[in-house]
Amino acid sequence: MKLELRGISKAFGSFYANKDIDLVVDDAEIHCLLGENGAGKSTLMNVLYGLYQPTEGQILLDGKPVEFNGPGDAMAAGIGMVHQHFMLIPVFTVAENIALGAEATKAAGVLDLQVTRKKIREISDRYGFDVDPDALVEDLPVGVQQRVEIIKALVRDAKVLILDEPTAVLTPQETDELLEIMRQLKANGTSIVFISHKLREVRAVSDVITVIRRGQVIDSVGAETSTTELANLMVGRAVELNLNKEPATPGAARFQVRELSVVNELGATTLDAVSFDIHEGEILAVAGVQGNGQTELTEAILGTQPVAAGSISLDGTELVGKSVKQVLRSGLGFVPEDRSVHGLVSQFTIEENLVLDLYDRPPFAKGISMNLGEVKKNATKQIADFDVRTDNQLNPASSLSGGNQQKVVMARELSRDLKLFIASQPTRGVDVGSIEFLHRRIVAERDKGTPVMIVSTELDEVMELADRIAVLYKGRVNGIVPGNTSREVLGLMMAGVSAEEAFAQADFATSANEPVEAQPVPLETTEPTDTQEGEAQ
């Protein structure tokens, strides 16, 4: 089926999320929509899927104009969509989820799941999905849940399949499996619209890549286009993709977490006896698929998450039991994973947001009053140092783009002397150019001797920044390995394979003439051993 979008625009009030977009997806083609978060990719696909009505323009299938008043119309026309956040009911079986909304029935309207089970097995066998129709969705790994979503679209005879950021919650191995599934679907005649901002994956599987920036099509190119060229198209200027940093020279272990456990309000253990150290002058990156305890770990350190057991100490000072203000005043710089909710007060000015945790201390305070002159001078300096794009520092923080909001948070946290710096998802929703800049600032803080902890679900970011990597799996540290550990090993560890077994599997798959990249580092006690220091470097 050939899909064509002509002059599609989508406005929300006076703001255009999409403007005059033309797009052609040929039969049995993998067509990637590439762009940073907020570029308008998902909005465009929600228009195509009937979730939004276009302000202007038309959609054509095999040359015939169509109108969709909802997803049901799109599915009936042969368009299926797998959303970034899966639309599955955890307590239902695979068959029940797939039958939902298109139930096969026997006489007297009795549900006939056997028909659905048969279709699931046929599709699963055809593509090697290995999906049990009677398995509960809540018991399935994330990668298998995604296959269930794809089967749900194929059962409804989707000829065009939209995949919205499909690798966001997958391990590297699951990502490779998904890319192979996409190739098989293409070979069987399915057209795929692949929404992503990950250059490596886009180049690996796409036939055509259409770059969208600020709601408009910039260019359509082939998969042979280099990652540098694609990045330049996404951002609109030349971008340095590789971070050149000197090897770490770690000193003493200044930040220590010991046997840390967190139990949520439902009584489930979300962190289970987590232990690690961060040394002076090194970056420890915490890797893992989203939902494996990363949020609970950072919140427990900050003091917003109650600790069930264990210890958190910075330069010998115990942090468990302290208030958030006390923790910050102990020397912690903290960048939360959701800047708009926990990092900024959107209606406050940029100036005010740059002193949120310092407004009541000199030089920004005079007794019980704020020193507005110093606040203004500080904002002028930080905006210049961190290249925050704004025409007026008295504008509210909400007026800034996502990348510039992140720069404000980073500027505030890095503008004072720190004993520890923690950044959770430091470049989420940030364009490639801003990523380059923020990564350099994080490394600069490390080079000052500050212990740094980065929490990221972006494996490329982890591998770019880390001197050592701690992998979280189901609330436990599954191993701590050097920063140059291979993507394959990290992916296995993120899926629950022990560090030792992951290295063994990688070693087995490597030819006898090629050395394994690194060996696992055991959990530390309090001071680094000579071996650990050498490996970290």
Contact partners, residue 259, CB within 8 Å, separation at least 6:
273, 274, 275, 309, 310, 311
Express each pLDDT in 383-437 by its tens digit: 999 888 888 999 999 888 777 888 999 999 998 899 999 999 898 767 677 788 8
Confidence of residue 512 (pLDDT cuts 50, 70, 90): very low
Binning the chain into helix, strand and coil, the percentages to the nearest 5 are 35, 25, 40
CA–CA gap between residue 36 and residue 428 (Å, rounded): 10
Closest CA to 145 of 296, 294, 337, 291: 291
Place of tokens 């907020």: 38
C-alpha torsion angle, residues 217, 1, 168, 518 (rounded to 10):
-100
Place of tokens 């905006």: 383
Which DSSP symbol is given to 349? B
Express each pLDDT in 204-213 by its tens digit: 999 999 999 8
Angle between helices 172-187 and 142-155 (to 10 degrees): 20
Express each pLDDT in 279-336 by its tens digit: 999 999 999 988 899 999 999 999 999 999 999 999 999 999 999 999 999 999 999 9
pLDDT greater than 60 at residue 531: no
Output the DSSP codes for 71-122. Answer: HHHHHHTTEEEE-SS----TTSBHHHHHHTTS--B-GGG-B-HHHHHHHHHH
Per the structure block, which two tokens stand in for 420?
């520890």
Please report the domains of the chain, with CATH numbers, ordered by start residue: 3-235 (3.40.50.300), 253-331+417-536 (3.40.50.300), 344-415 (no CATH)
Per the structure block, which two tokens stand in for 520?
């696992």
C-alpha torsion angle, residues 44, 49, 54, 59 (rounded to 10):
90
The β-bridge partners of 93 are 136
CA–CA gap between residue 351 and residue 405 (Å, rounded): 12
Over residues 14-25, mean pLDDT:
93
Amino acid, res. 6: R
Asked whether the beta carbons of 443 and 283 are under 8 A apart, the reply is yes
Asked whether the beta carbons of 394 and 349 are under 8 A apart, the reply is yes
Place of tokens 């923020």: 438
Sheet holding 15-25, edge to edge: 15-25, 3-12, 56-61, 64-66
3-state secondary structure of 133: coil
CA–CA gap between residue 258 and residue 326 (Å, rounded): 20
Express each pLDDT in 21-74 by its tens digit: 999 999 999 999 998 767 888 889 999 999 999 999 999 999 999 999 999 999
State how far the alpha carbon of 342 is from the alpha carbons of 83, 101, 355, in Å: 26, 38, 14
Asked whether the beta carbons of 382 and 431 are under 8 A apart, the reply is no
Over residues 1-13, mean pLDDT:
93
Query: Given this model, what pLDDT does residue 509 score?
Result: 59
CA–CA gap between residue 506 and residue 522 (Å, rounded): 18
State how far the alpha carbon of 478 is from the alpha carbons of 103, 469, 472, 508, 537, in Å: 42, 10, 6, 20, 21
Give the containing element (helix H, strand E) for 307: none
CA–CA gap between residue 256 and residue 258 (Å, rounded): 6
> Above pLDDT 70, what percent of the chain?
93
Higher-confidence residue: 237 or 41? Answer: 41
Q: How many residues does the chain have?
A: 537
Place of tokens 């005043």: 329
Query: Given this model, what pLDDT does residue 336 score?
Result: 92
Query: Given this model, what pLDDT does residue 510 score?
Result: 52
Asked whether the beta carbons of 422 and 301 are under 8 A apart, the reply is yes
Q: Going along 197-335, which residue ranges are E strands? A: 208-213, 216-222, 253-263, 269-279, 283-287, 309-314, 317-318, 332-335
Give the pairing of strands 452-455 and 283-287: parallel
Scanning 338-486, the segments in alpha helix (DSSP H) are 350-353, 372-385, 402-414, 432-447, 459-465
Per the structure block, which two tokens stand in for 176?
């490779």
State how far the alpha carbon of 188 is from the alpha carbons of 2, 28, 51, 127, 354, in Å: 15, 8, 27, 10, 54
The chain-wide mean pLDDT, for the chain, equals 88
Using only the alpha carbons of the chain, give its radius of gyration.
25
The β-bridge partners of 3 are 25, 61
Express each pLDDT in 121-174 by its tens digit: 999 888 888 899 999 998 888 788 888 999 999 988 899 999 988 887 777 888
Per the structure block, which two tokens stand in for 353?
């947001």
Give the pairing of strands 420-424 and 283-287: unpaired
Query: Given this model, what pLDDT does residue 330 score?
Result: 94
